[in-house]
Amino acid sequence: MGSIAIGGLPIGKVHCVAPAGDRCGEGAVWHPSEKAVYWTDINRFLIHRYDEETDAVNSWFFDEPVVALALTERDDTLLVALASRLILWEPQTDVRRDHGFTLNGWPKVRLNDGRADPLGNFWVGSMRNNVNPDGSPGAAGGTDGVLYRIDSANTHTVFRRDLGIANTLCWSPDLTRFYHADTLANTICVWDYDAKTGAISNERPFFAGFERGYPDGSAIDSEGYLWNCRFGGQCIVRIAPDGTIDRIIEMPAQNITTAVFGGNDLKTLYATSAGAETHAGDRLAGSLFALRTQTPGLAPYRVRL
């Protein structure tokens, strides 16, 4: 295992790098200078770190569900989306500070998927809270979700309401498109993205009704293809910019939740998974997986502070 093994994997070969047993692994982000992947387990209130060179996995506990992560302009500091608020966290010292944004409606609703955009804003969606105080699963549903953009002045802007589960936040390489999913509607939409203002407009369907599970998190590669993780579908589907299916990657776990490109060449796709809502024979459920690709991804964007 480690970086030599991952780099030497055949193209398309899926490798389990961390059988973490996550109830709901999510929030994967690649940290280039550390050569590491950070990700979360929402229901166990955890952040994990996988070191690509040593295979070591470290974990930290938090006081509520951890749903998303983003790099910041400070290399030693991550932006962490908890269920109810944002915080700034320094992994090396475990220092945690309030960011300032808190979610209206918590605990009826909670934050979900979140990513930094090319301008350094943080985008995050919400959903009906399906995590009980002890971490056990509750019921999702309804259309309580909202899509927010939060800037460096801590001003938040609402761009979409009435979402079931807000998921997937990706920008095309030419910075003209923004992709966003509603998991419960089984729909990924595309918007026009204004790279000068960071605003989105002209929402329209992009990929809908695919029968293999439901759209969860996504990553985008340098050719503008969207790699969408399918919760319940045991696969990742690579979707062309015109909305057609380029290929389907079969995965060794049922619930694939989100993905990020990493490695020195950005040709390793790391994918998280969930052990919840699965069966006893799904032995690798909740693991972190790695997949070597021919096309590199995009370097991660960072939140401006």
Domain ranges of the chain: 2-303
Q: What is the pLDDT of residue 10?
A: 81
Say if pTM beats, i.e. exceeds, 0.85.
yes
pLDDT in tens, 76-87: 999 999 999 999
Question: Does residue 238 contact residue 210 with C-beta atoms inside 8 Å?
Answer: no
pLDDT per residue over 163-176, tens digit each?
A: 999 999 999 999 99
Question: What's the CATH code, domain 2-303?
Answer: 2.120.10.30
**Amino acid 9: pLDDT:** 74
- Just list the catalytic residues: 216
Determine the pLDDT at residue 1: 36
In this predicted structure, what is the pLDDT of residue 250? 97
Cα angle 231, 237, 240 (rounded to 5 degrees) comes to 140
Residue 10 is encoded by which pair of tokens?
A: 């055949």
Question: What pLDDT score was predicted for residue 5?
Answer: 53
pLDDT the model gives residue 26: 98
b/e code 211-245 from CB counts within 10 Å (16+ = b): eebbbbbbbbbeebbbbbbbbbbbbbbbbebeeee
**pLDDT of 37 over the 50 cut:** yes
Residue 3 has pLDDT above 50, yes or no: no
> Is residue 295 pLDDT above 70, yes or no?
yes
